[in-house]
């Protein structure tokens, strides 16, 4: 698929690179790139094993700028990333993508963007914005979910959230790494080492860097929040265990004198005079009850119950 950058992206059947009136955007599969790469005259040999891409980055060459994208699936961040490559020079940009991801992003740009001052830099800015367009809402959902988990822990009405919090923390780590790579990419574009971009248009890359930096900071904050929630749950668990141990200790303390009485009179020695008293049994009951009551009053005053 070929497009010219005009007031919007205008689809073209083929590119006429001899005329430099408009910058272009090309979206090719790996096989198409191998077949048509010579027509773009970028003088590069790109490795087209898209499955081997592991990061988002840009590399400056003598007469071109090449790079790769590894984009997490926002619906399932832990799923395998979408991978594609690109090559650009002062005439335009070529995407090499077998997934269809780039065409979807370009479709969104065509349906939503109209440019007063069309340029390659503005297209790249809008394309990069498409990648992070939903991220603020996604991070806010994580924030709301973590708030809900924290409230549930404090109210004691939630089961062990460790697994879910761990998954959120893992997703946030992946997103943070993605933002760091996007920052490196946008800074490389802003550096404009080969002078492919107009200097007054490199501000677009600076604006994108600022946005990604804010997303990165929010992601780091949420990840720290998830760690605090894990610690909060562990502390609440420790408090519950301490309460249980305290209760068991109090029960043991109450029944220790009763156990002593039972053990003492359970010996049944011949010359134990209490065994002959008619009131011995009710007296033992009364004494046992008094021990329990006095113990409970004592523990209440000490606020151990």
- 20 pLDDT higher than 80: no
pLDDT tier at 181, thresholds 50, 70, 90: very high
State mean pLDDT over 41-62.
Answer: 77
State mean pLDDT over 100-112.
Answer: 91
- 133 pLDDT higher than 80: yes
Q: Which fold has domain 1-116?
A: Beta Polymerase; domain 2 (3.30.460)
Q: Where are the chain's structural domains?
A: 1-116, 252-301
Residue 218: is it exposed, middle or buried by C-beta count within 10 angstroms (0-12/13-18/19+)?
buried
Per DSSP, 3 falls in state E
pLDDT tier at 143, thresholds 50, 70, 90: very high
pLDDT tier at 17, thresholds 50, 70, 90: low
> What pLDDT, on a 0 to 100 scale, did the predictor assign at position 173?
93
What's the mean pLDDT when you consider all of the chain?
A: 86
> What pLDDT, on a 0 to 100 scale, did the predictor assign at position 305?
67
> What pLDDT, on a 0 to 100 scale, did the predictor assign at position 243?
79
pLDDT tier at 121, thresholds 50, 70, 90: very high
Instruction: Give pLDDT tens digits for 192-251.
Output: 888 888 888 889 999 999 999 999 999 999 999 888 888 877 777 777 777 788 888 888
Per DSSP, 273 falls in state G
Which of 64, 41, 65, 200 is closest to 119 using CA atoms? 200
d(CA 43, CA 28): 17
Which stretches of 81-202 are DSSP H helices?
Answer: 101-112, 120-131, 135-155, 162-191
């Amino acid at each position: 698929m070929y497009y010219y950058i005009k007031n919007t992206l205008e689809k073209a059947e083929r590119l006429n690179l001899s005329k430099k009136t408009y910058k272009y955007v090309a979206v090719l599969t790996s096989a198409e790139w191998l077949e048509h790469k010579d027509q773009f005259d970028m003088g590069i040999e790109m490795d087209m094993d898209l499955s081997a891409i592991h990061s988002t980055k840009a590399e400056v060459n003598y007469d071109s700028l090449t790079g790769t994208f590894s984009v997490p699936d926002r619906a399932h961040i832990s799923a395998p990333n979408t991978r594609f490559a690109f090559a650009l020079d002062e005439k335009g940009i070529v995407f090499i993508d077998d997934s269809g991801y780039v065409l979807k992003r370009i479709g969104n740009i065509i349906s939503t963007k109209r440019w007063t001052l069309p340029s390659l830099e503005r297209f790249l800015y809008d394309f990069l914005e498409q990648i992070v367009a939903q991220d603020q809402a996604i991070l806010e959902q994580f924030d709301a979910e973590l708030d809900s988990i924290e409230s549930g822990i404090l109210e004691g009405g939630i089961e062990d959230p460790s697994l879910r919090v761990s998954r959120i923390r893992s997703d946030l780590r992946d997103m943070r790494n993605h933002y760091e790579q996007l920052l490196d990419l946008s800074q490389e574009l802003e550096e404009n080492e080969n002078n492919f971009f107009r200097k007054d248009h490199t501000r677009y890359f600076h604006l994108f860097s600022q946005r990604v930096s804010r997303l990165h900071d929010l992601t780091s904050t949420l990840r720290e929040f998830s760690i605090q929630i894990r610690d909060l749950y562990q502390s609440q668990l420790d408090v519950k265990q301490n309460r249980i141990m305290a209760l068991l200790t109090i029960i043991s303390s109450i029944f220790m004198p009763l156990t002593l009485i039972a053990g003492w009179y359970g010996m049944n020695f011949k010359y134990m005079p209490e065994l002959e008293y008619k009131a011995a049994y009710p007296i033992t009951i009364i004494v046992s009850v008094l021990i329990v009551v006095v113990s409970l009053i004592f523990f209440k005053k000490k606020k151990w119950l």
